[in-house]
A and B are shown apart, each in its own frame.
Chain A
């Protein structure tokens, strides 16, 4: 288990227990964090589970693969720290991480 905090656009924080081996998207959905739509259920097909990942956390996770990078590049509200939460696997190193959510996923 790793404790992950999702911060909504309006500043509301949701601290959740994320199971190792699942994805950050699933951790958010399973804990009813608003602001992660994940329409495609984690197939990297829709870019509606975007989060902003701080640099210190980015260093602890594998870099985005091409498909994810390109989806982000064309997603609304994306910036250089954006990732798709369905493509990030939870590991013990992520314990305590805090990620931000965009204003909207569409």
Chain B
């Protein structure tokens, strides 16, 4: 029988799985198949330092090219896996190859959600997911150019922050009544609206894009359903991503809002594992199933899948964390705030650029948003993991430092 792990996908999760397989002592063959022309690279910098031109492509690679040689990982780039033939334990590719596997790892990631409105295919309508997307956007980075960002989430706001610093006229159109609506409390949302306004970005809320208008195939204007419109030299759409589950689905694996895996990253076929953005996985600490779009999730599931293949039990169980860089602001988030019933603010979000919000559910801390507040973030990790229960007035009290706070939470539990 072939002793060969095939990894479908060549993103963060795929790169980590390959590295971890070798660290775990796997001595069979590893084949990584990716549809982009690049070795695994980090996506977070794409909307931050890489977009700003502050990082070269070599520095966004997940591992240097020499790594794959040393670790003996065969790369098949520019190649799409078209079918998994489970009975034969073989994958078929767009290049006509059939590659056998003993274990298969699906690291198919996600793709951008497209805005299917008239004019969607005009030159100048961009998305941001890949290195090539960034190149296209950067080619429009000319001082005085008008950029309309569609979607006031992390990607949209990070792009806005980079672009306005380059002297570009930036307008963000957000459909919801507040930015970052999916992930933060209105307190954090209003804070970011204030900062973007101070930096010169215009934010329009409740704006639903109805069409892109152009001349000679080139975008000139963005129209909204309330008949307002915005001149634009280019657009960046950031309205979320969709997990790439079609390959798994066609192979008859269980799929529901992601490829269903257990805490060892195994799908409904134990010889097929799935990791990263594309998975719907259990989180034993939170007691619920999640589909996460984050680096931590990609890295940790990559490690777990490698351990599983090597016969070692490494349960994937972590409190989720995320970050976003906009201007000089580092937003660090720990936990998932959905379902909170109280948001406790520490510091003053109406003035200055540093504060934190603790999200409580029935008195228990479930998440923290920390803006330029590493102590709140670092201790928040411990407190959320420990299910801290501290009174709001204690959390708010800045005369108590965060180390004391974490200790108080520990003592109280």
Q: Which residue of A lies closest to B331 (CB)?
A: A45
Given A41-B45, A43-B325, are A30 and B23 also a contact pair (CB < 8 Å)? no
Q: A94–B166 Cα gap in the complex (Å)?
A: 34
| Chain B window 316-328, contacts with chain A (Cβ cutoff 8 Å), 1 for yes, 0 for no | 0000010101000
| Chain A window 69-87, contacts with chain B (Cβ cutoff 8 Å), 1 for yes, 0 for no | 0110111000000000000
**Pair A22/B59 contact, Cβ less than 8 Å:** yes
| Chain A window 40-55, contacts with chain B (Cβ cutoff 8 Å), 1 for yes, 0 for no | 1101111100000000
Contact of A39 among B63, B299, B402 (CB under 8 A): B299
User: In the assembled complex, how far is the CB of residue A27 from the closest CB belonging to chain B, in whole angstroms?
Assistant: 10
Q: Which residue of B lies closest to A19 (CB)?
A: B58
Contact of A74 among B19, B66, B379 (CB under 8 A): B379
**Pair B70/A41 contact, Cβ less than 8 Å:** no
User: In the assembled complex, how far is the CB of residue B399 from the closest CB belonging to chain A, in whole angstroms?
Assistant: 18
Does A59 lie at the interface of the complex (its beta carbon under 8 Å from any beta carbon of B)?
no
**Pair A47/B378 contact, Cβ less than 8 Å:** yes
Contact of B332 among A26, A30, A45 (CB under 8 A): A45
**Total number of A residues with any Cβ neighbor in B under 8 Å:** 20
Does A32 lie at the interface of the complex (its beta carbon under 8 Å from any beta carbon of B)?
yes
User: In the assembled complex, how far is the CB of residue A61 from the closest CB belonging to chain B, in whole angstroms?
Assistant: 19
Contact of B374 among A40, A41, A74 (CB under 8 A): A74
Q: A39–B63 Cα gap in the complex (Å)?
A: 13
Q: Which residue of A lies closest to B322 (CB)?
A: A45
Across-interface contacts of A71 in B (CB, < 8 A): 374, 378
Given A67-B372, A70-B375, A74-B403, are A41 and B295 also a contact pair (CB < 8 Å)? yes
**Pair A40/B64 contact, Cβ less than 8 Å:** no
Q: Which residue of A lies closest to B321 (CB)?
A: A46
User: In the assembled complex, how far is the CB of residue B396 from the closest CB belonging to chain A, in whole angstroms?
Assistant: 19
Q: A26–B56 Cα gap in the complex (Å)?
A: 13
Does A29 lie at the interface of the complex (its beta carbon under 8 Å from any beta carbon of B)?
yes
User: In the assembled complex, how far is the CB of residue B376 from the closest CB belonging to chain A, in whole angstroms?
Assistant: 9
**Pair B403/A43 contact, Cβ less than 8 Å:** no
6 residue pairs of the A-B complex, CB under 8 angstroms, read: A32-B71, A41-B45, A43-B330, A70-B374, A71-B378, A74-B402
